[in-house]
Amino acid sequence: MAYRVVRDPSAYQPAIQPWLARASKHAEKGLPEAARPAPCKAILDFQATHPDGVNIQLGAEAKKQLFMLDSKIHYLNHGAYGACLRVAAEAQQEFRRQLENEPTMFLEASVFDSLQVAREEVASLIHADSRDVVPLTNATVAVNTIVAGVLRREDTDRDLIMVTSNTYNAVKNLAFHAAAQQSMGVLEVQLPLDTLLQGDKGILAAFAEALTAHGSKVRLAILDHVASFPPVHMPIRELVGMCRKAGAKVLVDGAHAVGAVDLDVPSLGAEYYTANLHKWLCTAKGAAFLWVARAEQDHIRPLVISHGCGQGFMAEFLWQGTQDWSAWLSVPAAIAVYRSIGFDRIRRYNALRLESAAQLLKTGWCTDLVLGVKAGSACMAAVPLPPLASFPTVVAAPPDKQF
């Protein structure tokens, strides 16, 4: 017969790729010592040049030595796409060279060993088990993955997706699009400026009101950890608790959290957490993780079905077609730089610098409205631009203080 008709495709047994089976076994049980790669040359060179840690002054000098940013500009839009550390970019280049030296060996073996090390480092940063952390390219992919996974499950009693009025635009688009496709609705908690200006109290009251009225209908709550516009470090632990108490599944969008705030992901109590690494950890672009609570992993599949199909959570996420993992492989380099400077020192510097920069713009642009400075630990503030006619009026940046 020149064809076959399969009436029960669910009985199909996908072929097992031995290289992917090896990678997921190592992800499950840990890498044997013999397979553990040494730190890349970029990290070793960096450590050799800074044997006692980075003790240069943070500010202009650190920008010059550690980043590739144009020295003539004061780059204020870090929250959008981050800025890559020089060492992370060098590590990325090194891995790209390895890939092109021997593509098959790299893509079917060594990439997984290096990726395992990177996932372990990220897991330790967020106090998680690396078996629950999968690599993705950005937070948008992760949020799409979870929305698809949660909505695939039947739950006719719960027909609302919960967001807020200042959920990141791309995520809000997804919530409305997915709800429309599934004949569901969206519960949008309103957080206008006057509510935000009341701080956590105002935010918690707005959520309490929405959840009291509609909590029993919410299937998935998508909560920003650090909302980007206006920038707000949300009272995330309390919000997760409220949504879980209402019986909703909770996804925390921590796109801005890693590097900016201290994180213990499992202790938040959400089912799902995602964060970008290319923003505040300053890795190469295209590195984010998705953490999924163990009990949920059977229900979450990647958006792309490929060789790992049916072989478990990790195998499915580790292979979604041929891809360039070099941004993810730059993560240990970025973590090495952060550790060498000190996460706390960086956060203290960012908070104080944020405050003085916002103050400078506020004075220069004659506005009283500065949002986000109270959440200094979240690294971002928003200052309204002056009318075009009086723009630009800003003066030189304040001198670096000693950090």
Binding site for ligand PLP (CB under 6 A): 80, 138-140, 168, 170-171, 224, 228, 253, 255-256, 276
DSSP 323-343: ---HHHHTHHHHHHHHHHH-H
Smallest separation (angstroms) from ligand PLP to the CB of 144: 9
Smallest separation (angstroms) from ligand PLP to the CB of 229: 7
- The residue among 394, 400, 399, 367 whose CA lies nearest residue 381 is 367
In whole angstroms, give the CA distance from residue 219 to residue 157: 9
Other C-beta atoms closer than 10 Å to the C-beta of 68 total: 12
Q: Which is nearer to ligand PLP, 58 or 191 (CB)?
A: 191
Peptide bond between residue 230 and the one before it cis (omega within 30 degrees of 0): yes
Cβ proximity of 129 and 267 under 8 Å: no
Q: Which is nearer to ligand PLP, 116 or 140 (CB)?
A: 140
DSSP-assigned beta bridge partners for residue 382:
371
Smallest separation (angstroms) from ligand PLP to the CB of 276: 5
Other C-beta atoms closer than 10 Å to the C-beta of 213 total: 10
Smallest separation (angstroms) from ligand PLP to the CB of 174: 10
Q: Which is nearer to ligand PLP, 361 or 378 (CB)?
A: 378
Task: Give, as one character, the DSSP assignment of residue 106.
Answer: I
Q: Which is nearer to ligand PLP, 46 or 291 (CB)?
A: 291
Q: Which is nearer to ligand PLP, 171 or 354 (CB)?
A: 171
Q: Which is nearer to ligand PLP, 196 or 255 (CB)?
A: 255
Q: Which is nearer to ligand PLP, 215 or 254 (CB)?
A: 254
Tell me the angle at which helices 86-101 and 41-49 cross, rounded to the nearest 10 degrees. 150
Smallest separation (angstroms) from ligand PLP to the CB of 171: 6
- The residue among 271, 276, 240 whose CA lies nearest residue 258 is 276
142 by Cβ neighbours in 10 Å (0-12 / 13-18 / 19+) ranks as buried
Q: Which is nearer to ligand PLP, 23 or 255 (CB)?
A: 255
Smallest separation (angstroms) from ligand PLP to the CB of 219: 20
| Rg, the chain, Cα only | 23
Smallest separation (angstroms) from ligand PLP to the CB of 101: 29
Cβ proximity of 393 and 365 under 8 Å: yes
Smallest separation (angstroms) from ligand PLP to the CB of 133: 17
- The residue among 269, 314, 280 whose CA lies nearest residue 120 is 314
Cβ proximity of 249 and 161 under 8 Å: no
**Residue 244: what are its φ and ψ, rounded to 5°?**
-65, -40
